[in-house]
Each structure stands twice: as C-alpha cells, then as structure tokens.
C-alpha cells in the first residue's frame, strides 16, 4: 500500500490538507507594502465643500496610481495591519507638473477623512500625513511635507486592522474658512493628482 501523502493541496489558495491531522491549514505570506489610490483635481477654484473620493473609482487606472482591483476592497483572502497613512501630491502626470503654490494650497487647505467601514481610522489636515515618499523641493520652487524618507514618517500608535470585507472609505475634503475675514477659496493653476498611501503589513494566502 502506498504511503499516505503528508500534505494535499486544497481547493482554496494557500490551503493545505494534512490527512494525518484530519484538517486543513492556510499557508500565508507576509509582506510590508502599500494599499494606495490616486484622484485628480482640475485647475481652477476649489469651492468650499469640494470632496475627492479615494479608493472608489478605479476605471482605467494602472499600478502607478492604484493598488486595488475592486472598488474600496483589498483582494479576497488578504488581511492588513495599517500602521502609516500618507498623502502625496504627485510631481508629474505625464508631462504636466504642478506648481509649488498648488502643492502648498492643497496641503494647507485640505482634510483627509479615512474610515474602514464606519470605523474612523484618522482625520485631520493633509499636512500631518507625511508619506515618507514626499518631496523636499520642487523644480519650480521650494516645498516640503516632511523628510522624504519612510523612516521619518509618523506611524499610527495602534495599527488598524483591514479585512477583505471591509470598505475603505477615504475622502479629501476642502472646506471653507469662514472665520477668516475676506477668506478666498484656493485656486489651482494646473491639474493636480493626489495619492493616499496606507502602509501596512499585508497577509495573503500563498498560491493566489
């Protein structure tokens, strides 16, 4: 009689059946990586209450602008512990780059709101979300959103769990500042694209 195999591949990715134990196990891989998405804002006045929705609209986006394949969701079977949230105004879209005043207007006037389902992960002005991928300078001037080094970017005190059935609900919001006398909404000289990075330890089943 042939020896019983020690392990048999299961039907699910990463599943291994151990006949001697009468049960299956999930083989996994752990990696440190980003979950990210990118939105654009056209030139012109950014009226009070403008919202740019992150992680929702993926049509025609490639890997330089999003890591998602399904709206608001990480891949089936994945799980993540998010420990850093970063916002980065991209330096170029094709051959077009933003002006330094545009970069500063976005960082100084915008708010990030991030929830997993209805659970609030973080909320606050864009300038506090240093990505570590950011910029220390700009070809047309000087701008800074922290040191462009991942080790210098602040982390969440408690990593936030993200599962494959959680909705990632992210918004960039540009409210008014009515308490400022003669407040004028920011006006952008060029089209800008903005990425939000969720840096995490990601668990995936082997064989996906």
Residue 59 in domain: yes
pLDDT at 144: 62
In a domain, 96, yes or no: yes
Distances (CA, A) of 178 to 29, 183, 197: 50, 6, 30
Separation CA 99–CA 80 (nearest Å): 35
Residue pair 18/25 in contact (Cβ under 8 Å)? The answer is: yes
60: in domain: yes
Please answer whether residues 8 and 199 qualify as being in contact, where contact means their C-beta atoms are separated by less than 8 angstroms.
no
Q: How far, in Å, are 36, 40, 61, 89, 101 from residue 98 at the CA level?
A: 20, 12, 20, 9, 8
Q: Measure Cα distances from 205 to 47, 73, 91 in Å.
A: 45, 16, 35
Residue 139: inside a domain: yes
Q: What is the 3-state secondary structure (H, E, C) of 159-189?
A: CEEEECCCCEEEEEEECCCCCCCCCCCCEEC
Q: Is residue 2 part of a domain?
A: no
Could you tell me if residue 128 is inside a domain? Answer: yes
Looking at residue 1, its pLDDT comes to 42
How confident is the prediction along the chain (208 residues), in pLDDT tens digits per residue? 456 566 777 787 777 777 766 777 677 778 899 999 999 999 999 999 999 999 999 999 999 999 999 999 999 999 999 999 999 998 888 888 888 889 889 999 999 999 999 999 999 999 899 888 866 655 555 566 666 666 678 888 899 999 999 999 999 999 999 899 988 999 999 999 999 999 999 988 876 6
Number of domains in the chain: 1
Q: Looking at residue 155, what is its pLDDT? A: 87
Give the structural domain span for 129: 31-205
In-domain check, residue 115: yes
Distances in whole angstroms, Cα of residue 79 to Cα of each of 76, 162, 201: 9, 6, 8
Q: Is residue 110 part of a domain?
A: yes
In this predicted structure, what is the pLDDT of residue 64?
A: 95
What pairs with residue 35 in β-bridges?
198
CA 132, CA 153: separation in Å to the nearest integer?
5
Domain of 42: which CATH number? 2.60.120
């Amino acid at each position: 009689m042939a020896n019983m195999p020690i392990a048999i591949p299961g039907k699910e990715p990463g599943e291994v059946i151990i006949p001697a134990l009468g049960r299956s196990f999930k083989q996994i891989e752990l990696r440190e990586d980003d979950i990210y998405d990118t939105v654009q804002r056209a030139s012109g006045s950014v009226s009070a209450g403008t919202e740019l929705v992150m992680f929702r609209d993926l049509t025609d986006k490639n890997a330089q602008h999003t890591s998602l394949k399904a709206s608001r969701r990480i891949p089936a079977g994945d799980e993540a512990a998010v420990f850093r949230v970063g916002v980065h105004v991209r330096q170029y879209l094709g051959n077009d780059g933003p002006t330094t005043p545009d970069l500063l207007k976005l960082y100084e006037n915008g708010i990030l709101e991030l929830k997993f389902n209805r659970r609030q992960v973080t909320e606050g002005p864009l300038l506090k979300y240093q990505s570590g991928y950011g910029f220390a300078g700009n070809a047309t001037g000087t701008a800074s959103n922290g040191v462009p080094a991942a080790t210098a970017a602040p982390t969440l005190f408690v990593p936030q769990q993200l599962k494959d059935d959680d909705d990632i609900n992210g918004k960039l919001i540009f409210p008014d500042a009515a308490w400022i006398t003669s407040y004028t909404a920011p006006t952008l000289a060029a089209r800008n694209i903005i990425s939000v990075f969720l840096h995490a330890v990601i668990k995936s089943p082997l064989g996906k």
